[in-house]
């Protein structure tokens, strides 16, 4: 009897031990339980993390220098691809190749002690622009013309699907700069010189991320499932207002002007649940944004109540000093003290991890600053559902460059074009053009060049030239498809005088503009169209009725040519769907676009924006001629 009771006691103790072990396991995995509140999950995970694991979460490295073993050994929290060779998985990589790469790196993160998934980011700034055969939408300078937040939201949703098609859940978009000087090389990334239009265009954020639930707390990041991506409002703040339009320069303006022009779109983005915000390379009144504690911590985090994470620009803390990387220890301290949470260090991530670890252990950087950063990063990851769905699947590949998205991009092109001139030739204006002309000329360096048509940030950082790098429709191809089969379309990129004298055309379409550029490579003090563009305009339009379509990232010098041309169209950077241009030229749809930027007469007038006392433009803000669609017979 005693033995029997003793065995009962032993069995009871064993059962209790198993029960306690089970409860401990449940407690241990609390941060992995999607039924728990995000705050509880963050707290549970944070208390389990070592300093090394926390600093790993604050590190974003370029894909080209990482393996899955690196992800595991250094606890890397984030990876990015920049549009440079080696950073993408392969030239003309398929969605499967992208997903394989992302998942391989993710497997390294998931094999760590705590299994914290990494977040992969990419610049999808006008569609999924780094990826072969994606839909390339018009750049922001054109989209601002539409003043159509519903369209912008649709573009955001389409972009999210295409980004997810490659297994990526995070994009460094939108750029909500207010470009106040077109000499700035990133002006085409800005929707308008008018902060009200830029604020309106933040509707792309719920397109990318999904609509925030009713009653959500202000500033809390939200990403609505596996068809959406985390967005990034950039570049915080004032990057579009630099002196003389110098990229990464100094925005010299008082607080009233600064907060009324450059801040409103950020406030709106935060209300819409934007997950991340990127600091700018630029300065405000001499203080670099990457070390501006007042604007990043005091204002953005504490006043505006932003609860997502703040990410640096690419090697942004390196540029706190001059020359770059001259005092990396100081740069890390300054960036951390400012309130940056995730550091886009790019290639030299081991040096960053080593130095930040030393600075924290030796109390140069307080642990509370590290904890604030990691909590914010984890909050975004939890809100994205990364812990529940860390690996990408292959089922989204069908969305990349799909016809529905190309149709949407074509609609966007139609709404971005602005008709600046449409003089009467004989009895009627030149536009819309006749589809049944006998013989027409298409000329100009940009008529049959998809790379020029898309601009910078397309497949490669600085863009490209030619038609074999990605898929799309050039304006020349669109013209041939639009006209009557009996119409003879002659293409001559840069016809000479003899050619023009020997040929007889009903009219000519001349497509010229800027060559692709990105960031500081696009800074321009003269804003002229490169040759042979001006020569082509004069030679062709001096010989035959012509419409000139300008493919540019901003207003450029055109006053010398205005009298020569019969019709003039601001085509901006329309992207891959050239049919959107011909839809308007041939009258299938009417022109509706109104300038969201002032078109200057001379660069000597710059900077000049609507409302300025010296306002004397060639074409004022809001200008745009309209046409009615041609009646279908």
Mutual angle of helices 367-384 and 328-338, in 10-degree steps:
60
Specify the residue for token string 């003269």.
Answer: 526
Catalytic site residues? 313, 519
pLDDT in tens, 119-162: 999 999 999 999 999 999 999 999 999 999 999 999 999 999 99
Cα 555 from Cα 601, distance rounded (Å) = 10
Looking at the structure, tell me whether residues 127 and 258 fall in a common domain. Answer: yes
**Is the per-residue pLDDT at 80 higher than 90?**
yes
Averaged pLDDT, 388-404: 97
Domain boundary among 399, 428, 457: 399
pLDDT value of position 11: 47
3-class DSSP assignment, residue 424: strand
Say yes or no: 437 and 331 in one domain. Answer: no
Burial of 362 (0-12, 13-18, 19+ CB in 10 A): exposed
The pLDDT of residue 342 is above 80: yes
Torsion of CA 159, 163, 168, 174, to 10 degrees: -30
Q: Domain check: are 307 and 268 in the same one?
A: yes
Question: For residue 633, is pLDDT > 90?
Answer: no
Q: Binning pLDDT at 50, 70 and 90, where does residue 427 land?
A: confident
- DSSP class per residue in 223-251: --STT--B-EEEEETTGGG-GGG-TT-EE
Residue 14 lies in a domain: no
Q: Is residue 372 part of a domain?
A: yes
Between strands 59-62 and 488-492, the pairing is unpaired
Residue that terminates a domain, selected from 341, 371, 399: 399
Query: The dihedral of CA 140, 143, 144, 147: what is its sign?
Result: negative
Say how many C-beta atoms besides its own lie within 10 A of residue 235's C-beta: 24
Percent of all residues in the chain with a pLDDT value above 90, rounded to a whole number: 93
**The whole model's pTM is what?**
0.95
Region 451-472: what's the mean pLDDT? 97
Beta-carbon count within 10 A of 107 CB: 14
| pLDDT confidence bin for 8, thresholds 50/70/90 | low
Kind plus residue range of the DSSP H or E element containing 570: strand 567-570
Residue range 317-322: mean pLDDT, rounded? 97
262 in the same domain as 338: yes
Distance, in Å, from the CA atom of 493 to the CA atom of 512, rounded to the nearest integer, reads 10
Q: Cβ neighbours of residue 223 under 8 Å, at least 6 residues apart? A: 169, 209, 210, 229, 230, 275, 380, 383, 384, 385
Residues 494 and 595 in one domain: yes
* For residues 575-604, average pLDDT: 98
Question: What single-letter DSSP state applies at residue 458?
Answer: B
Predicted confidence (pLDDT) at residue 591 exceeds the cutoff of 50: yes
Query: From CA 377, how far away is CA 374, in angstroms rounded?
Result: 5
Closest CA relative to residue 458, chosen from 124, 95, 121: 124
Three-class SS state of 437: coil
Contact 339, 312 (CB under 8 A): no
Q: Which residues of 365-392 are buried (b: 16+ CB within 10 A; e: fewer)?
A: beeebbebbbbbbbbbbbbbbbbeebeb
Domain contains 306:
yes
Distance CA 137, CA 574 (A): 7
Give yes or no: residues 475 and 379 share one domain.
no
**Is residue 137 assigned to a domain?**
yes
pLDDT for 433: 97
The percentage of residues in the chain with a pLDDT greater than 70, rounded to a whole number, is 95
What's the whole-number mean pLDDT along residues 606-611? Answer: 98
pLDDT of residue 631: 77
Q: How far apart are CA 265 and CA 197, in angstroms?
A: 9
Q: What is the domain-level CATH number for residue 235?
A: 3.20.20.300
The beta strand positions in 99-206, using DSSP E, are 119-122, 170-171
At 401 the pLDDT is 98
- pLDDT digits over 623-632, tens only? 999 999 987 6
End-to-end CA distance of the chain: 105
Statement to judge: residues 245 and 356 lie in one domain: yes
191 pLDDT tier (thresholds 50, 70, 90): very high
Q: Are 219 and 379 in contact (CB under 8 A)?
A: no
Task: Quote the pLDDT of residue 85.
Answer: 86
pLDDT at 23: 47
Kindly state whether residues 336 and 451 are assigned to the same domain.
Answer: no
Stretch 506-523: mean pLDDT, rounded?
98
Q: Could you tell me the residue range of the domain that residue 485 belongs to?
A: 417-619
* Rg of the chain on CA atoms, in Å: 27
Kind of pairing between the strands at 428-429 and 424-425:
antiparallel
Torsion of CA 434, 553, 419, 421, to 10 degrees: -100
What is the rounded distance in angstroms from the CA atom of residue 380 to the CA atom of residue 38? 10
Residue 329's H or E segment, with its range, is helix 328-338
Question: Do 114 and 239 belong to one domain?
Answer: yes
Question: Is residue 477 assigned to a domain?
Answer: yes
Distance, in Å, from the CA atom of 166 to the CA atom of 339, rounded to the nearest integer, reads 31
Helix extents (H) in 95-148: 95-110, 140-146
| Cα distance between residue 57 and residue 382, in whole Å | 13
Q: Do 378 and 519 share a domain, yes or no?
A: no
Determine the pLDDT at residue 25: 47
Residue 290, CA distances (Å) to 121, 211, 232, 342 in order = 20, 30, 16, 12
**What tokens were used for 157?**
């949703």
Residue 345 and residue 444 in one domain: no
Mean pLDDT of the chain: 95
Quote the pLDDT of residue 5: 53
Of 350, 367, 399, the one marking the end of a domain is 399
Residue 602 pLDDT exceeds 50:
yes
Domain count for the chain? 2
CA distance 515 to 451: 9
Write the pLDDT tens digit of every residue in 91-110. Answer: 999 999 999 999 999 999 99
Q: How far lies 413's CA from each of 85, 147, 274, 405, 574, in Å? A: 29, 13, 26, 12, 6
3-state secondary structure 487-546: CEEEEECCCCHHHHHHCCCCEEEEEEECCCCCHHHHCCCCCCCCCCHHHHHHHHHCCCCE
CA angle at residue 473 from 405 to 417, to 5 degrees?
75
User: Does residue 19 belong to any structural domain of this protein?
Assistant: no
The string of pLDDT tens digits covering residues 41-52 is 999 999 999 999
Q: What is the pLDDT of residue 28?
A: 62
How does pLDDT run across 466-489, given as a tens digit for each residue? Answer: 999 999 999 999 999 999 999 999
Q: What is the CATH number of the domain that holds 498?
A: 3.40.50.1700
Residue 6 lies in a domain: no
Other beta carbons within 10 angstroms of residue 297's beta carbon come to 18
Could you give the 3-state DSSP secondary structure of residue 438? coil
HEC profile of 269-318 = HHHCCCCEEEECCCEECCEEHHHCHHHHHHHHHHHCCCCCEEECCCCCHH
Residue 136 · residue 574 · CB < 8 Å: no
Query: Is 7 within a domain?
Result: no
| Averaged pLDDT for residues 19-29 | 53
Task: Please report which confidence band the pLDDT of residue 203 belongs to, taking 50, 70 and 90 as the band edges.
Answer: very high
Domain match, 595 and 487 both: yes
Q: Is the pLDDT of residue 14 over 90?
A: no
């Amino acid at each position: 009897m005693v033995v029997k009771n003793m065995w009962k006691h032993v069995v009871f103790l064993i059962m209790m031990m198993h029960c306690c072990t089970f409860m401990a396991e449940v407690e241990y995995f609390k941060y992995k339980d999607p039924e728990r509140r995000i705050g509880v999950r963050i707290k549970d995970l944070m208390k389990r993390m070592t300093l090394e694991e926390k600093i790993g979460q604050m590190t974003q490295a370029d894909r080209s220098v990482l393996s899955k073993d690196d992800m595991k050994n250094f606890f890397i929290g984030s990876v990015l691809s920049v549009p440079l060779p080696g950073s993408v998985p392969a030239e003309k990589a398929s969605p499967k190749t992208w997903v394989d790469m992302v998942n391989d790196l993710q497997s390294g993160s998931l094999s760590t002690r705590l299994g914290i998934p990494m977040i992969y980011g990419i610049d999808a700034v006008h569609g999924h622009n780094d990826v072969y055969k994606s839909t390339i939408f018009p750049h922001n300078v054109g989209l601002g013309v539409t003043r159509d937040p519903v369209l912008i939201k649709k573009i955001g949703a389409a972009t999210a699907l295409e980004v997810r098609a490659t297994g990526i859940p995070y994009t460094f978009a939108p750029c909500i700069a207010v470009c106040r000087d077109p000499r700035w090389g990133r002006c085409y990334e800005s929707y308008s010189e008018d902060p009200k239009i830029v604020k309106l265009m933040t509707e792309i954020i719920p397109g990318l991320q999904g609509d925030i639930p009713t009653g959500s707390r202000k500033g809390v990041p939200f990403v609505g499932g596996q068809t959406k991506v985390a967005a990034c409002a950039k570049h915080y703040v004032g990057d579009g207002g630099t002196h003389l339009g110098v990229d990464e320069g100094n925005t010299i303006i008082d607080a009233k002007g600064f907060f009324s022009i450059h801040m409103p779109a950020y406030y709106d983005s935060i209300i819409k649940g934007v997950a991340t915000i990127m600091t700018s390379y630029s300065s405000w009144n001499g203080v670099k944004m990457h070390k501006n504690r007042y604007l990043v911590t005091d204002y953005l985090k504490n006043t505006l109540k932003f609860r997502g994470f703040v990410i640096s620009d690419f090697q942004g803390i390196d540029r706190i000093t001059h020359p770059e990387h001259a005092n990396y220890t100081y740069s890390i301290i300054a960036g951390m003290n400012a309130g940056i949470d995730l550091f886009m260090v790019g290639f030299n991530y081991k040096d960053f991890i080593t130095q930040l670890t030393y600075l924290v252990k030796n109390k140069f950087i307080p642990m509370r600053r590290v904890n604030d950063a990691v909590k914010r990063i984890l909050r975004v990851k939890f809100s994205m559902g990364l812990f529940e769905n860390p690996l990408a699947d292959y089922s989204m590949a069908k969305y990349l460059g799909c016809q529905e998205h190309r149709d949407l991009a074509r609609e966007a092109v139609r709404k971005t074009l602005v008709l600046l001139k449409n003089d009467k030739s004989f009895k009627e204006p030149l536009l819309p053009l006749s589809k049944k002309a006998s013989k027409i000329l298409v000329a100009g360096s940009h008529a049959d060049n998809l790379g020029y048509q898309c601009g910078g940030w397309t497949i490669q950082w600085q863009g490209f030239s030619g038609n074999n790098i990605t898929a799309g429709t050039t304006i020349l191809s669109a013209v041939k498809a639009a006209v009557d089969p009996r119409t003879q379309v002659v293409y001559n990129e840069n016809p000479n005088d003899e050619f023009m004298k020997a040929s007889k055309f009903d009219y000519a379409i001349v497509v010229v503009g800027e060559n692709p550029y990105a960031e500081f490579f696009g800074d321009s003090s003269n804003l002229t169209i490169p040759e042979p563009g001006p020569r082509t305009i004069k030679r062709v339009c001096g010989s035959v009725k012509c419409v000139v379509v300008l493919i540019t990232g901003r207003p450029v010098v055109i006053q010398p040519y205005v009298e020569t041309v019969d019709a003039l169209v601001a085509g901006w950077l329309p992207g891959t769907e050239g049919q959107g241009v011909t839809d308007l030229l041939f009258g299938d749809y009417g022109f509706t676009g109104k300038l969201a930027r002032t078109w200057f007469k001379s660069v000597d007038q710059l900077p000049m924006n609507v409302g300025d006392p010296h306002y004397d433009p060639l074409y004022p803000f809001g200008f745009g001629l309209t046409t009615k669609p041609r009646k279908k017979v």
